[in-house]
Amino acid sequence: MNKSEFLANLRAHLSVLPPEEQNELLEDYEAHFAFGLQSGRTEQEIVLELGDPAELAKEAIDNRFVPQEHVYWFGGAEPAAAPGAAIPPTGGYPNEAGVQHRSAFASVMVYIGLFFINLIAVPLLLSFWAVVVSFAVSAAAGILSPLLLGLEYLWHGDIFKAKIFASIAYVGLGILLIVVTRYAYKGMLWLSIAYLRWNVRIAKGDQQA
C-alpha cells in the first residue's frame, strides 16, 4: 500500500466525520509522510509504521460525534437529519457546538506570534537534527576505523600497536553510537511532527470553548 492508497482508505473510514475534521486528520498524516520521505524511508515503510487505516480511523472518531446512520456530507450544506433525530440547537454540525472562530485581528496576531516562535524553535530543531547527524557520522567513523587503519598500513607499511587497540575501542564506541542515533532519530522525528501539527492546529484557529 502506498501513500495515496493509505490516505484514500483512511478518508473512506473517516466519512462519518465532517469534511473539516477529515481534512485536518489527513493533513497530519500527510505531514508524517513528508517527514518520513525526507528521512529516506519509502511510502510502504511509512504505511507499515502507521498501521491499519481502519484502526487509526476508529481511534480518531472514538471521542467525536458519530451519527447513528451513515451521513454523506455535501460541501458546506448541513446534513439532513435522520427520521426522529433531534435537531441541534446551534443550527450547525453537532460536533461544532462550543467551537469559537477567531476574528481576523486575532488570526493576524496568532500568525505574528507563530512567526516569532518559529524564529526560535526552528533553528533549535535544526540544531538538534545536526546533533543526530553528527552522532550518525561518528558512529560510521568508529565502525570504519579498522578499514582506515588497514589503509594506513598499506600506505606506510607499518603500524603502531596502540592504534590497533584504539581502533577496536572506536568500533565499540561506534556500535554504541548507532544505538544512541537510532533513539535520537526517532525522538527528533516525533518532536518535529508534533511541532508541525501544533503549528497547523494553532494556525487553523478553531478553539474549543
Return the minimum-mean-pLDDT range out of 50-54, 60-64, 152-156. 60-64
pLDDT at 102: 60
Q: Is the model's pLDDT at 153 over the cut of 90?
A: no
| CA separation for the pair 182, 104 (Å, rounded) | 44
pLDDT tens for 82-123 read: 444 444 444 444 444 444 556 778 778 888 888 999 999 999
* Cβ(62)–Cβ(173) below 8 Å: no
Residue 99's pLDDT is what?
Answer: 45
Q: Is-above-0.85 flag for pTM?
A: no
Taking the CA atoms of 21, 23, 26 and 27 in sequence, report the sign of the dihedral they define.
Answer: negative
Maximal C-alpha separation, the chain: 92
Residue 64 pLDDT class (50, 70, 90 cuts): low
- Per domain, the residue ranges of the chain are 1-96, 98-209
Average pLDDT for 157-163: 72
Return the residue matching grid coordinates 472562530. 101
Q: How far apart are CA 186 and CA 113, in angstroms?
A: 28
**SS3 sequence of 69-118:** CCCCCCCCCCCCCCCCCCCCCCCCCHHHCCEEECCHHHHHHHHHHHHHHH
Half-sphere exposure of residue 207, counting CA atoms within 13 Å on the CB side? 11
Q: In terms of Cα–Cα distance, which of 99, 123, 121 is closest to 204?
A: 99
Span of 21-30, 95-104, 125-134, 161-170 with lowest mean pLDDT: 95-104
Residue 65 near residue 59, CB atoms below 8 Å: no
Residue with cell 461544532: 96
